Structure 1
Amino acid sequence: MGNHFSKIIFELKTKILSPKLNNLHRKSEASLGVKSLSTLNFVKRQAIIQHAVKHSTFYREKYAGLPLVEDGMQTHEDFLALPPLTRDELRSNFRSIKADNVAFSNYRKARTSGTTSAPVFLLHDKRHPETPIRWRILNWWGIEPCENQAFIYRYKKPFINSLKNKALWWPTKRVFLAMANPSAKQLNKFVHDFNHIKPALVQGYVDVVFEFAMYLLDNDIKIHPPKMVWVTSAPLFEEQREIMKKAFGAPVCDQYGNTEILLIAAECPVQNGLHMMQDTVHIEFVDDNNQPVQPNTTGKILLTDLTNYAFPLIRYEIGDEGKYKDHMCSCGSSLPLMDNVRGRQSMNIRTPSGLRIRGEHIMAMFEGYMKAFKEIQLRQEANFSVCIEYVPRKLNQGSKEADEMTKLLMLRARCEIAVDCREIQKIQQVGLKSPLIISNLELP
């Protein structure tokens, strides 16, 4: 009865106080029923490019001389002729990228964490929030927005933000845990509150959700199983996924998103890759010449936000790598699939001869060892040497596993670089993220 009542109140509140959000959710789901998502995607690309050329000084100058400035984008080849937007351009041209016809009330400012370089600033278009896409993903997993939720993050939310969050999503109940050195009392309270509200969803950063999962297993603590655990902010080791699944008694959903475009792709319960949100973002996998690679081939990821008219992002080279899958999912969704993103282009180890060891390959090598650690991080210095820094789960644990990982990486690097390991108390964080690789190489 209580859940049914909460659902009625939540839906009524949403329709009255957030009718626009409710309408956007209905429209987003209706878009999946169109005859051709690729045609819808193309039309939306035409519209955002036309808008950018007209209302953004940066794009008007960047595309000067291209036929589409006068005639608009007519073919896919016209689109492929557009020079990508680089991270340096985004960092240096904030004012000129911003559309000149957007009201202050229609955008909010955001900044990246600066995981691989200095942070960049951008605008999010408040007229097209990510919530409808989030609700779409939750629906795949049988979760309704009105159901209770639990969040595990690194730091405690400011008190005023917590109050606003509770008021915004009432009558949904939400519990939060900050995993930055929590006390036994805080952990026990979170477990108690968790079991009291029985959340359908657990969401948080990969590393801290994994750490909490290990705490549950180490202490043989049982919690009410949610319908799904949603992790973000870092690549997900498959071993981490299995441990979380065991601790929470629930499947773990991997997703792909970033500060620039919050929700790009996510897993459905079939878990055979990530469904790309083709109606809100255009994703390309390209070679060094920015031309499409074949399906199932790793390429640079270029992103075009189809909904951000306040701050257009067109063929944005985010710095990630990924693969397009050449088959549709057995779940029946019309959204195409991509492989799980395992790392950034710049998240790799390099050798003096030019060998590049991708982050995804390092993750694959290290599978089977992660149970011994809370966190690991690879630090490459200017002389190409690498140190595997690790935080053990328990005292006097992890040294054997770290030694084995050191040998594996040295062999993979063809013994061109020195590799060692050391135990530390805390890995380096960049913004809210914990990158797998910190590189001090000065690359050309």
Structure 2
Amino acid sequence: MSQLYGLLRFYLTRLFYRALGIRVNYWRRQVGELWHMSPDERGRSLERYLAEDPLHDACGGTISKLAEINRAPRMSKEVFREAAGGSEQQGSAKQVGSRFARHTAGTTGAPTHITLNRTELGQMLGVRDYCFRHHGIRLGEAEARIWGRPDKGFKARLRDFLLNRRVYYPTGTLAETEVESLVKSQSDYIYGYASLILEAARLIEQKGWEPPPVRCVICTAETVLPSQKRYLEQVLKAPVVEEYGATEFDIIAFECREGHRHLVNPWLVVEAGDGQCLISDVSRKSQSIVRYELGDALTLRVGSCALLGSFKYIDQLEGRSINRFAYLSESEKFHSSEFANLIDDYQKEHNEIFRFRIEQRSHAKFLLSVYPCPSTGAKHLKEYICDSLYKKYNCKIILSVDMAPTSKSLNTKSGYFIQNLNNINEQN
């Protein structure tokens, strides 16, 4: 009976998309066909998009050929917001007439509004369905969304019902109740913030509960360490994959079964030559987006894996570009990924799993927030990090450790390292 109900709910959600004029199946097939083309054939297909309806760069210049993209000026988020006319439309996928609006509060504190037509939203959802099916799930199957903000309004409940998802918030006074409800659900997959999925997994392990019968766990919006991923797979008994995306484009890269984070949207041109991620959407007509500064630092590689999307994949994802370096002095610095590597090594060596965030407020002084407290204690963790950095860089840091009594302070969507130094001209 539950299997039949799950099938009915899936078709109800897909019927909802069709009623909105969004052809998910059609666009998923288009995604697959484009990735099966040779690079030259796919390039000619994108050239046709530009020839029929050219884009405009940040200065208003016309872009009618692919070769013109990498010569165009960069588009900052401020320029994009001005070009969008300061739209006040809000909502994660709200219909406005024949268009849809997406909204993000933004990691920089300034909101960004995205306007999409049916074709553009259909392409995004087609990419999502293409990625999901690679891991044995389908867009529209029962989703357990583990998210940072509970939304209990009528509109939110109706939206979640139509999209066949249930939202869980596994922190605070109702954390145990939320997670108990999760394990009793018949969800097909889990989707959400890695930090909050870790919270749910920790409670499941502590209580000795059987995990929900999900086929896949998708981590988005936050960095997840290899040790944390292994822990999640052990507790939740399902493969854990990473998604990299943005509200402006939805999914940009998705992890294949072999662990490569492939570029998966065939209509996007992704540049990462100097570490800064720049994205152009060749098919977007509602808003021209050319060499858009996403604000993340990443490196791309070309491999031989053809399991999903492009041969190009994200090799290193370093998060917000403004948070790439930890400073010892005005002129001395090291890459902030050293902290993540050290803590990942520590967790593997001592069989510990905890969430963390490091904040720098002055030169060579750092605050490490950890939840829950590792069994080895704060002093042991502090000495491990300080000694390791001294051996590698011959530098001394002052590290304060906050064993957060609750996880609330770590429940914001951000990276593991926050740079709060002022008056530093960062050199890459």
TM-score, length basis structure 1: 0.79
Contact 2:150 2:168 in 1 (8 A): yes
Q: Residues of 2 paired with 1:9 and 1:148: CA distance? A: 8
Tell me how far 1:42 sits from its aligned partner: 4.2
Q: Specify every segment of 5 or more residues in structure 2 that has no aligned partner in the other structure, as ranges.
A: 89-95
- Correspondences of 1:283-432 after superposition (within 5 Å): 283-287=270-274, 299-331=275-307, 336-339=312-315, 341-348=317-324, 349-370=326-347, 372=352, 374-393=354-373, 397-409=377-389, 411=391, 414-415=394-395, 417-425=397-405, 432=412
Corresponding residue to 2:103 among 110, 113, 123: 110
Which residue does 2:170 correspond to in 1?
A: 179
Tell me how far 1:391 sits from its aligned partner: 2.3
Q: Residues of 2 paired with 1:258 and 1:237: CA distance? A: 20
Q: Residues of 1 paired with 2:331 and 2:52: CA distance? A: 39
SS state at 1:223 partner: coil
Which residue does 1:20 correspond to in 2?
A: 22
Tell me how far 1:11 sits from its aligned partner: 3.7
Name the stretch that deviates more: 241-250 or 214-223: 214-223
Identical aligned residues as a percent? 16
Tell me how far 1:335 sits from its aligned partner: 5.1
Corresponding residue to 1:30 among 8, 13, 33: 33
- Pick closer, same or farther for the CA change 1:238–1:223 going to 2, 3 Å: same
Contact 1:410 1:419 in 2 (8 A): no
Matched, 1:79 2:79: no
Corresponding residue to 2:55 among 51, 57, 72: 51
Tell me how far 1:334 sits from its aligned partner: 5.0
SS state at 1:131 partner: helix
**1:130-150 deviations in Å (ceiling 9; x for gaps):** 222111111001112343221
Matched, 1:215 2:203: yes
Q: Residues of 2 paired with 1:32 and 1:365: CA distance? A: 37
Tell me how far 1:121 sits from its aligned partner: 1.9
Tell me how far 1:229 sits from its aligned partner: 0.5
Contact 2:272 2:278 in 1 (8 A): yes
SS state at 1:352 partner: coil
Matched, 1:7 2:7: yes
Contact 1:254 1:267 in 2 (8 A): yes
Q: Residues of 2 paired with 1:6 and 1:212: CA distance? A: 23
Which residue does 1:66 correspond to in 2?
A: none
Matched, 1:123 2:119: no
Q: Specify every segment of 5 or more residues in structure 1 that has no aligned partner in the other structure, as ranges.
A: 64-68, 288-298
Q: Residues of 1 paired with 2:11 and 2:256: CA distance? A: 24
Q: Give the number of aligned pairs.
A: 406
Q: Residues of 2 paired with 1:378 and 1:274: CA distance? A: 25
Matched, 1:250 2:238: yes
Contact 2:382 2:401 in 1 (8 A): yes
Tell me how far 1:203 sits from its aligned partner: 0.9
SS state at 2:321 partner: coil
Contact 2:195 2:411 in 1 (8 A): no
Tell me how far 1:375 sits from its aligned partner: 2.3
Corresponding residue to 1:89 among 65, 72, 79: 79
- Pick closer, same or farther for the CA change 1:179–1:2 going to 2, 3 Å: closer
Corresponding residue to 1:154 among 148, 158, 161: 148
The one-letter amino acid paired with 1:306 is V
Contact 1:214 1:243 in 2 (8 A): no
Tell me how far 1:39 sits from its aligned partner: 0.8
Tell me how far 1:270 sits from its aligned partner: 1.7
RMSD: 3.3
Tell me how far 1:410 sits from its aligned partner: 5.0
Contact 1:428 1:434 in 2 (8 A): no
Which residue does 2:158 correspond to in 1?
A: 164
Tell me how far 1:250 sits from its aligned partner: 0.9
Tell me how far 1:38 sits from its aligned partner: 4.1
TM-score, length basis structure 2: 0.82
Tell me how far 1:182 sits from its aligned partner: 4.3
Tell me how far 1:333 sits from its aligned partner: 5.1
Tell me how far 1:123 sits from its aligned partner: 1.5
Name the stretch that deviates more: 302-311 or 233-242: 302-311
Which residue does 1:144 correspond to in 2?
A: 138
Contact 1:125 1:307 in 2 (8 A): no
